[in-house]
């Protein structure tokens, strides 16, 4: 009789550990699926950048450093592997693109170009879609991180190789830009 009780406890504990593991796997997969949605938008943005650079090159001859920074950041973002590396590379690309948009302000002829305006509209649309899928990704990441940190999951998460994962945030430069008050011109 005592053997059956011990065996029953072991079976219940094994089922409990399997349930914790499966729950963590589901949360990790949700995070990876959410990043796949981000990846689609990033690919579209990467595809538009050469067109954008082509449109501004003729106007911005003296801004070669800015154009090269965007090109290098794009290459780095396209060659990044793994979610965390891609997040870091995309933050760098976002900073480079922000630098480009600041430089564009000094070229009124460029801002009046129909081709440039079309590209700006497309990139703005992609950025809006990216913001939406980034929110979903961060929600999935938050769920995973909470599950990994909660007791008793935290004990088993470490054993099974689960850890907290970073969010996909805007990066310092973009965050500072958003925190500024808008400039009003009359």
Domain assignment present for residue 137? The answer is yes
Residues of the chain with pLDDT under 70: 170-186
CATH number at residue 165: 1.20.1440.20
- Cα dihedral across residues 100, 59, 125, 45: positive or negative: negative
Domain assignment present for residue 5? The answer is no
Can you read off the two tokens belonging to residue 183? 């400039």
Domain assignment present for residue 73? The answer is yes
Q: What is the pTM of this model?
A: 0.77
Domain assignment present for residue 6? The answer is no
Can you read off the two tokens belonging to residue 107? 């070229």
Tens digits of residue pLDDT in 116-150:
888 888 988 998 999 999 999 999 999 999 999 99
Give dist(CA 52, CA 67) in Å, integer. 10
> Domain range holding 161?
17-177
Predicted local confidence at residue 171, as pLDDT: 59
Domain assignment present for residue 24? The answer is yes
Predicted local confidence at residue 21, as pLDDT: 95
Domain assignment present for residue 186? The answer is no
The per-residue pLDDT of the chain, averaged, comes to: 86
Domain assignment present for residue 127? The answer is yes
Per the CB < 8 A criterion, the answer to whether 103 and 60 are in contact is yes
CA proximity to 22, closest of 141, 140, 147:
147
Predicted local confidence at residue 172, as pLDDT: 53
CA atoms in the 13 A half-sphere facing the CB of 28: 14
CA proximity to 139, closest of 49, 68, 12, 33:
33
CA proximity to 116, closest of 54, 45, 42, 46:
54
Domain assignment present for residue 114? The answer is yes
Predicted local confidence at residue 116, as pLDDT: 83
Tally of domains within the chain: 1
Tens digits of residue pLDDT in 155-166:
899 899 999 999
Can you read off the two tokens belonging to residue 140? 């999935």
Predicted local confidence at residue 113, as pLDDT: 80
Predicted local confidence at residue 63, as pLDDT: 75
Q: How far apart are the first and last CA of the chain?
A: 88
């Amino acid at each position: 009789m005592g053997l059956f009780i011990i065996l029953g406890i072991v079976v219940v504990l094994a089922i409990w550990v399997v349930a914790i593991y499966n729950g963590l796997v589901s949360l990790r997969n949700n995070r990876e699926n959410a990043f796949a949605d981000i990846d689609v938008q990033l690919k579209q943005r990467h595809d538009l950048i050469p067109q954008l650079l082509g449109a501004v090159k003729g106007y911005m001859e003296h801004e070669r450093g800015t154009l090269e920074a965007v090109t290098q950041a794009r290459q780095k973002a396209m060659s990044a592997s793994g979610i965390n590396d891609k997040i870091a590379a995309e933050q760098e690309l976002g900073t480079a693109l922000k630098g480009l948009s600041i430089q564009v302000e000094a070229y009124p002829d460029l801002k009046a170009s129909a081709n440039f305006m079309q590209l700006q509209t497309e990139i703005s649309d992609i950025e809006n879609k990216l913001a939406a899928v980034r929110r979903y990704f961060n929600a999935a990441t938050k769920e995973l991180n909470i599950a990994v940190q909660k007791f008793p999951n935290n004990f088993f998460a470490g054993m099974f190789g689960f850890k907290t994962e970073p969010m996909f945030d805007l990066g310092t430069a973009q965050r500072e830009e958003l925190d500024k008050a808008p400039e009003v011109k009359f």
